[in-house]
């Protein structure tokens, strides 16, 4: 997945990525579970020709660090889902 940083400030990060609505919603919801995150949203200008643009604003915490923590939490959730699913179908 390619990520292109559009804007980076002390408490704000705007970036584009090659993902779909499903992943963007998944990431947005995980970011919003973090008390340090004040805003987490994304937009797609045109679904066929545009990449999603995500905006993350924090309470002053490094937004890249906050994003990385959210991604790591999602990875753990997905690994647990994979393990649980494998147990159920075996």
Instruction: Give 73-83 pLDDT, tens digit per residue.
Output: 999 999 999 98
For residue range 2-34, what is the model confidence (pLDDT) as tens digits?
Answer: 899 999 999 999 999 999 889 999 999 999 999
- Residue 90 scores a pLDDT above 80: no
The single residue listed with the structure tokens 């990431």 is 27
8 A C-beta contact, residue 50 and residue 40: no
- In CATH, what number does 3-89 get? 3.30.1360.10
Q: Which segments within the chain are labelled E, that is strand?
A: 3-8, 12-17, 37-43, 53-58
| Predicted TM-score (pTM) of this structure | 0.87
% the chain with pLDDT above 70:
100
């Amino acid at each position: 997945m390619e990520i292109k940083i559009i804007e980076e400030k002390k408490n704000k990060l705007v970036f584009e990525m090659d993902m779909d609505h499903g992943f963007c919603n998944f990431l947005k919801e995980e970011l919003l579970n973090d008390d340090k995150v004040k805003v987490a949203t994304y937009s797609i200008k045109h679904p066929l020709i545009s990449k999603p643009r995500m905006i993350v604003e924090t309470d002053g915490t490094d937004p890249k660090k906050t994003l990385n923590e959210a991604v790591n939490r999602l990875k753990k959730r997905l690994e647990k889902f994979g393990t649980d699913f494998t147990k159920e179908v075996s």
